[in-house]
């Protein structure tokens, strides 16, 4: 009788151990699926006086350079309107910018009508362009930025910045 009880206790212990092990393994897989790894990327917004760019840390999902670039452009569009020290330069319009990444160059296509009433003057145009350039070049896998307007290479953006150039970041803007 005592031998049967000892065997039964050993079986119960093995079953409990197996259940605990299964629970631990399944919890590990569930946590991997629900935990999204992120990167902190500096996005650049203009200060309240509209004089210079200010870096703001933005958390984006860790993914390919092109998808991360889309997240960054969305963050620039979304802005931080709740912070009185910074302003958004990009109008809050969905799909006003698209991006493709190839050979470490981000190709950004801007819609010409998105800035028709927003950017006024050379300084604001430069701040807008470098808000995008500086933000995108903070992404691993992007070194330069090229722009098109409505899918075409244009001589200028809104009259001041030569959009035929390949842009590198300028953190002194």
Strand partners, 19: none
HSE on the CB side for 160, CA within 13 Å? 11
Helix/strand/coil percent split, the chain, to 5: 40, 25, 35
- pLDDT 10s digits, 109-155: 998 877 665 557 889 889 999 999 999 999 999 999 999 999 999 88
Give φ, ψ of 25 to 5 degrees.
Answer: -65, -45
Helix axis angle for 65-78 and 122-136, nearest 10°, is 140
Distance CA 60, CA 36 (A): 10
User: For position 33, what pLDDT does the model report?
Assistant: 46
User: For position 36, what pLDDT does the model report?
Assistant: 76
Locate the domains of the chain by residue range: 1-35, 38-167
Mean pLDDT per 10-residue section of the chain, whose length is 173 residues: 56 63 59 69 94 94 94 92 88 88 96 70 90 97 95 85 93 88
Strand partners, 152: 149
pTM exceeds 0.75:
yes
User: For position 76, what pLDDT does the model report?
Assistant: 94
> What is the secondary structure of 41-79 as a DSSP string?
EEEEEEETTSSSEEEEEEEEE---HHHHHHHHHHHHHH-
């Amino acid at each position: 009788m005592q031998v049967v009880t000892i065997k039964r206790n050993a079986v119960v212990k093995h079953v409990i151990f197996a259940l605990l092990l299964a629970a631990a393994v399944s919890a590990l897989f569930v946590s991997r699926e629900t935990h999204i790894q992120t990167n902190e990327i500096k996005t650049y917004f203009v200060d309240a006086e509209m004089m210079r760019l200010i870096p703001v840390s933005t958390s984006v999902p860790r993914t390919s350079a092109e998808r991360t670039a889309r997240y960054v452009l969305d963050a620039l569009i979304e802005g931080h309107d709740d912070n009185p020290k910074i302003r958004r330069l990009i109008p809050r319009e969905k799909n006003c910018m698209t991006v493709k990444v190839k050979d470490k160059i981000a190709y950004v296509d801007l819609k010409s009508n998105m800035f028709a009433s927003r950017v006024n003057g050379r300084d604001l145009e430069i701040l807008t362009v470098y808000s995008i350039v500086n933000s995108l070049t903070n992404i691993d896998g992007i070194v330069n930025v090229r722009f098109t307007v409505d899918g075409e290479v244009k001589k200028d953006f809104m009259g001041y910045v030569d959009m035929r150039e390949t842009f590198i970041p300028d953190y002194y803007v």
